[in-house]
A = this chain, B = another copy of it.
Amino acid sequence: MTHKFGIAIHGGAGTILRSSLTPEREKLYKDALHTALTAGYSVLTAGGSSLDAVETAIRSLEDCPLFNAGRGAVFNSAGKHEMDASIMFGKNLGAGAVGLINNVKNPIALARKIMENTSHVFVCGEGAEEYAKAFGLEMADDAYFYDEFRYQQWQQSHIAGGAFLDHNLQSANASDEKKFGTVGAVALDKDGNLAAGTSTGGMTNKNPGRLGDSAVIGAGTYANNNTCAISCTGHGELFIRAVVGHDVSALIEYKNLSLAEACHEVVMKKLVQIEGEGGLIAIDKHGNIELPFNSEGMYRAMKSSDGREVVAIYK
C-alpha cells in the first residue's frame, strides 16, 4: 500500500496587501511558488524522500530573487547578508542548522550536510562556511546576492532605523518588523517519512549576529514521524519564545489534538497573545496539510496525492 503523500511550501508572511502588489508582481510570486511546489512534488511522485523534496523546493525558492532567502536575502544593518537555515527528518529526529552564513548559494543544502555528514547539529558563521567549502557546496560571491530592490529597502531602513546601537537598542528595526520573507517546505513521502526545512535572510537591517527562529530546531523547523512536520515564518523572536514547531507537535502527541486544532491553538491563540505575527505550514503523518497565519498574508502553496493543489498569497 502506498501512503498518501504531499508537500507544502511558504515564501514568507507579513503585511502583504493586495493593494501593494501589482497584478504582474503577484503573477511573478505565484509562478515562483508553483515552480518550487512542482519541483518538490515531483520528487515525491517519483518515490523520493521527503528530505529530498523539502531540499529541492527550498533550493528553488532560494534561487529566486523574489524571496528573502538565498539569492534574495536582505541586507543587515552592516550592509551584509547573514543567512540562516535548518532541516529536520522525522524518521530519526535528525537535524541540521546553520546561522549567520555568507556566500553559500543554498543554505538549506549546508544545513542538510551538517545533519548527514557531521557530528554537529548547529553551526554558525565562518565555521559553517568552512564546512560548506569542505563539502564542495556551491559558493557565490556578493554580486550574486545583490538585488537593487533589497539594497534600496536596506538603505531606507538604515536611515529610518538610526544607528546600530542607539539608546535603548529596541527601536532600530521597528520600521521593518513586519517584513518576514523566510521560505520553507514540509513534506510526507510515500514511505510515511516526514521532513521540514526553513531558510531565511532574516530581518532587513537586523543587527549583525541576530538569529531568528529559522535556525532554531523546535522553533522554526520541526519534524517527527509520530506527529507532523512544521516550517514557520514570522517575527522570529516570538516564535523562539513560543517554541512553535515543537509545540504544535506536542499538542498532537500529548493532547490528541488534530493537526488543524493544534495549528489553530498555536498560531491563532498562543502566538496572538504574545503578539507573534506570522504563520506556518504543516503536514501530519496522515497527509493532512494546514497553512495557518495570523498576518495579512502568507506566500504559500500545497499539493497532495489526493489531487488538491493551492497557490495563494492573501487571506
Q: Which residues of A contact B (CB under 8 A)?
A: 88, 93-95, 99-100, 117-128, 130-131, 134, 164-165, 168-174, 177, 207-212, 216-219, 222, 236-237, 240-243, 246-247, 250-251, 254-255, 274
Contact = CB atoms under 8 A, between A and B. Distances in A.
A177 B119 CA distance: 10
B122 A216 contact: yes
Given A100-B124, A125-B100, A209-B127, A246 B240 contact: no
B122 A125 contact: no
Contacts of A131: 165, 169, 207
A242 B94 CA distance: 10
Contact of A218 (B93, B119, B171, B243): B243
Contacts of A222: 243
A164 B127 CA distance: 10
Given A121-B236, A130-B207, 17 more contacts: A93-B274, A99-B211, A118-B169, A119-B177, A120-B207, A121-B237, A121-B241, A123-B207, A123-B211, A130-B164, A130-B209, A131-B207, A217-B219, A217-B243, A222-B243, A243-B243, A243-B246
19 contacts: A88-B241, A94-B241, A95-B240, A95-B241, A99-B211, A100-B124, A117-B169, A118-B169, A119-B173, A121-B237, A122-B211, A122-B240, A127-B208, A130-B208, A134-B169, A217-B241, A217-B243, A218-B218, A250-B250
A207 B242 CA distance: 29
Contacts of A207: 120, 123, 127, 130-131
Given A169-B134, A217-B241, A209 B95 contact: no
